[in-house]
Structure 1
Amino acid sequence: MDQDTELSVALAISSEVHFSGEKEKHYTETDGKLYKRGDVTYLQYKEEIEGAGSVNNVIKITHAGILIIRSGSVSMKQKYLIGQTTKGMYDSPYGQLWMETTTHEMNFRWNQQNQTGDLKLAYELVLQGEHTGTHRIKINFQEAKA
Structure 2
Amino acid sequence: MVSLQTEQLPVKITVNTTIHNGSEKETYELITFGHFYQKANSVYLRYEEFLEEGTIQTIAKISGQEGSLLRTGAVKMRIPFRKNKTAIGSYETPYGVLELSTATSHIDHSFDEELKQGEFTFLYRLNMQGSVTGTYQLSIRFEEDHS
- For the aligned pair, the TM-score class normalised by the smaller chain equals over 0.9
User: Residues 10 and 34 of structure 2 are in contact (CA less than 8 Å); yes or no, is this contact kept in structure 1?
Assistant: yes
Contact 2:65 2:107 in 1 (8 A): no
Name the SS for the 1:5 alignment partner.
Answer: coil
Structure 2 equivalent of residue 16 of structure 1: 18
For 1:115-134, what aligned pairs fall within 5 Å after superposition?
Answer: 115-134=116-135
Q: SS in structure 2 opposite 1:83?
A: coil
Check the 8 A contact 1:116/1:141 in 2, yes or no: yes
Deviation at 1:137? 0.5
Distance between the aligned counterparts of 2:143 and 2:90, measured in 1?
Answer: 31
The amino acid across from 2:29 in the alignment is: Y
Q: Distance in 2 between matches of 1:25 and 1:94?
A: 28
In the alignment, the residues of structure 2 paired with residue 15 and residue 92 of structure 1 have an alpha-carbon distance, to the nearest angstrom, of: 22
Where does structure 1 lack aligned partners over 5 or more consecutive residues? Answer: none
RMSD, matched Cα: 1.3
User: In the alignment, is the contact (CA less than 8 A) between 2:62 and 2:108 conserved in 1?
Assistant: no
Structure 1 residues 45 and 94: CA distance shift in structure 2, 3 A: farther
Question: Following the alignment from structure 1 to structure 2, what is the Cα–Cα distance between the partners of residues 137 and 35?
Answer: 19
Instruction: Please say which of residues 110-119 and 76-85 is displaced more in the overlay.
Output: 76-85
**CA drift at 1:105:** 0.8
| CA distance in 1 between partners of 2:97 and 2:51 (Å) | 17
Q: Which amino acid aligns with 1:14?
A: N
After TM superposition, the score normalised by the length of structure 2 is 0.92
**What is the deviation of 1:5?**
2.4
CA contact (8 A) 2:12 2:34 kept: yes
SS of 2:27's partner is strand
| TM-score, length-scaled by structure 1 | 0.93
Match of 2:59 in 1: 58
Aligned sequence identity (%): 30
1:25 alignment partner AA: T
Letter in 2 for 1:49: L
Cα distance in 2 for partners of 1:94, 1:135 equals: 25
Aligned residue for 1:31? 33
